């Protein structure tokens, strides 16, 4: 099997990259280890930055998002039983975020890929990337019980943190930067309308809490828990009672309860692999970087990587120049490190460390007070939350629009 770009992984980065390349007239093959049902059901992120939503629209993948997604022009910070709304739109000149689950993004992109007729192989497990440092890289994979080889000009490693792509980068070339946090998030899905019409981020002496949603009838809620916590350690009643404590306000706001349909624990970590390119192998999404979910940056960074790589490959096809391909890693990493900074800062602002002192507690409250009272501080948060600029932006997707 032969193609121009071999894409490993049918998550948001791989699927969007395939869609953008199709619009640019660059052929590709997508290899995905799991079946279609798994790809379209795995619960992940749910907040799309302004730039991400714009890219999906320009790529022809935004119709259902605009119909069913929930546009949010603000978020609420809670601390000391008080509520403060950060008006994202007013502070950023009209920018907003969209609540639209990653599962739905993947469904839309899978449907488009299949309609385009581009090869998308489910149940195709990538075994190794070979010859990444040469002009003729190959992907060995297993599909339907037999091994095969995908020969290509370029390989896009969009196969997540545990995928094979990153292993093809020699140890002497790789540099890894990481941090593991001493706590995680206990997350629940509940069949109950959200208790607030915007996301609520709560700082509490007992730990962080987040009130989010997946739709007007489904709530997504999170609690900070100690590292190593297992979901079975928390009964549904324990979860609701703790959410009520941490989200409590001095007014008459109340938390709506409903049947819990899913419960899981997500460890928090930060990770960056440099460079994001080795030879003709380009890493994208979780294969190259991970952020704590506090800033809702993971999916959006993956989209940024896909846009940057598609633009570079389209430029190569049109001009014969490798200039943008050579700049891929540096271009992506500028945005990645800003997202890492913001995600780490927001995590530190809202979570209580196991060994936190009274002095550190007061500093957290002082920082929150500053955001609540200073337009400059609020603007800094709003600009980061709604998204750092995509180099190339929606223009990189417009070829298919």
> Residue written as tokens 């380009």?
282
Assess whether 201 carries a catalytic annotation. yes
Question: Is residue 278 annotated as a catalytic residue, yes or no?
Answer: no
How many Cα neighbours within 13 Å face the side chain of 118? 29
b (16+ CB within 10 A) / e for 322-335: eebbeebbebbbeb
Catalytic choice (100, 154, 201, 222): 201
Q: What is the bridge-based pairing of β-strands 28-32 and 2-8? A: parallel
- The token duo for 296 is 């809702």
293 is a catalytic site residue: yes
Does the annotation mark 222 as catalytic?
no
**List 72, 196, 204, 315, catalytic entry:** 72
The residue among 104, 103, 126 whose CA lies nearest residue 29 is 126
From 100, 204, 293, 328, the catalytic residue: 293
| 292 tagged catalytic | no
Q: Name the catalytic one among 22, 204, 289, 297.
A: 297
The residues annotated as belonging to the active site are 72, 201, 293, 297, 385
């Amino acid at each position: 099997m032969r193609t121009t770009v071999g894409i490993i992984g049918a998550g948001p980065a791989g699927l969007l990259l395939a869609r953008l390349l199709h619009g640019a007239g660059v052929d590709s093959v997508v290899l995905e280890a799991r079946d279609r049902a798994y790809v379209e059901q795995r619960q992940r992120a749910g907040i799309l930055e302004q730039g991400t939503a714009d890219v999906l629209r320009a790529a022809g993948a935004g119709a259902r998002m605009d119909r069913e997604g929930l546009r949010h022009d603000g978020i609420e910070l809670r601390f000391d039983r008080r509520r403060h709304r950060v008006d994202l739109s007013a502070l950023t000149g009209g920018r907003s975020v969209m609540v639209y689950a990653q599962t739905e993004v993947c469904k839309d992109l899978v449907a488009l890929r299949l309609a385009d007729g581009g090869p998308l192989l489910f149940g195709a497990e990538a075994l190794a990337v070979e010859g990444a440092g040469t002009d003729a890289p190959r992907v060995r994979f297993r599909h339907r019980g037999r091994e095969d080889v995908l020969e290509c000009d370029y390989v896009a490693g969009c196969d997540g943190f545990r995928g094979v792509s990153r292993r093809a980068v020699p140890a002497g070339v790789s540099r890894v930067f990481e941090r593991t946090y001493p706590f995680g998030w206990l997350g629940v899905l509940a069949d109950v309308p959200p208790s607030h019409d915007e996301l609520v981020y709560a700082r509490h002496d007992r730990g962080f809490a987040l009130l989010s949603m997946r739709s007007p009838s489904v709530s997504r809620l999170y609690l900070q828990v100690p590292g190593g916590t297992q979901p079975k350690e928390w009964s549904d009643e324990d979860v609701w009672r703790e959410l009520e404590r941490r989200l409590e306000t001095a007014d008459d706001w109340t938390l709506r309860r409903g049947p819990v349909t899913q419960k899981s624990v997500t460890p928090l970590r930060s990770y960056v692999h440099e460079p994001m390119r080795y030879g003709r192998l380009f890493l994208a999404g979780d294969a190259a970087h991970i952020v704590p979910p506090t800033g809702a940056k993971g999916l959006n960074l993956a989209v940024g990587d896909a846009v940057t790589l598609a633009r570079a490959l389209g430029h190569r096809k049109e001009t014969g120049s490798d200039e943008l391909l050579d700049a891929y890693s540096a271009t992506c990493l500028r945005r990645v490190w800003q997202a890492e900074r913001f995600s780490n800062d927001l995590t530190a602002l809202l979570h209580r460390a196991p060994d936190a002192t009274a002095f550190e507690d007061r500093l957290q409250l002082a920082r929150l007070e500053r955001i609540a009272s200073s337009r400059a501080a609020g603007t800094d948060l709003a600009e980061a939350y709604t998204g750092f600029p995509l180099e190339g932006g929606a223009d990189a997707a417009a070829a298919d629009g």
